[in-house]
């Protein structure tokens, strides 16, 4: 069951989990019933040596992404140009869908953090809004 995140273009997604603490847990995701877009790209962030650093910030014009903190902890900050929300993810059975046109960045990592990202498009720098004022102008269109 998805959990209402109550934030523009974003959603919390519960991933199915099978197994137990002896054999280990199996978690999966697939399109279309769990991930709401066809996955065109997967990347992951790991080896964060300086825990004061952030990833992002930026927004995407079209790309949607699901972030899963598969190990450790990370805080996800969301901003739709009017409202802001931050939430901590630390369980690999939960993902956050961050839709297009949402300014976002991640911080407060633990030293073992790995987060996996599923994206709806292949990498294209033209899809990025990396300047906050450009983002605000873009969402007015
Ligand atoms: C996001 C956060 C969490 C590629 O060549 N292919 C890719 O798929 C990606 C994601 C990046 N790159 C290259 C582009 C840059 O030269 O890897 C370098 C670092 O990427 P970037 O500067 O975009 O890193 P962040 O932390 O600003 O953002 C990345 C993702 O781009 C972004 O979508 O949400 O991680």
* Mean pLDDT on 36-46: 98
Nearest to 131 by CA among 58, 32, 64, 34: 58
Report the pLDDT value the prediction gives residue 92, as an integer from 0 to 100. 97
Residues within 6 Å of ligand 1 by CB = 41, 43, 45, 55-56, 58, 106, 123
Report the pLDDT value the prediction gives residue 1, as an integer from 0 to 100. 47
Report the pLDDT value the prediction gives residue 5, as an integer from 0 to 100. 81
Contacts of 134 (CB under 8 A, 6+ apart): none
Alpha carbon of 117 to those of 7, 72, 122: distances in Å?
19, 15, 12
**Could you read off the pLDDT of 9-25 as tens digits, one per residue?**
999 999 999 999 999 99
Q: What is the end-to-end Cα distance of the chain in Å, rounded?
A: 34
**58 C-alpha to ligand 1 centroid (Å):** 10
- In the annotation, is 104 catalytic? no
pTM of the model: 0.95
**Could you read off the pLDDT of 67-103 as tens digits, one per residue?**
999 999 999 999 999 999 999 999 999 999 999 999 9
* Mean pLDDT on 29-39: 97
φ/ψ (deg, to 5) at 99: -75, 180
**28 C-alpha to ligand 1 centroid (Å):** 24
**3 C-alpha to ligand 1 centroid (Å):** 27
């Amino acid at each position: 069951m998805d959990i209402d995140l109550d934030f523009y273009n974003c959603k919390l997604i519960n991933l199915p989990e099978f197994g137990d603490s002896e054999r280990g847990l199996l978690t999966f995701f697939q399109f279309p019933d769990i991930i709401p877009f066809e996955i065109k790209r997967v990347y992951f962030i790991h080896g964060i040596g300086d825990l004061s650093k952030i990833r992002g910030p930026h927004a995407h014009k079209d790309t949607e992404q699901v972030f899963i903190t598969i190990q450790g902890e990370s805080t996800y900050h969301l901003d739709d140009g009017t409202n802001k929300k931050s939430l901590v993810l630390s369980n690999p059975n939960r993902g956050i869908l961050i839709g297009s046109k949402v300014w976002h960045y991640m911080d407060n990592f633990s030293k073992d953090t790995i987060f996996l990202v599923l994206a709806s498009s292949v990498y294209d720098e033209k899809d990025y809004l990396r300047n906050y004022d450009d983002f605000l102008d873009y969402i007015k269109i």
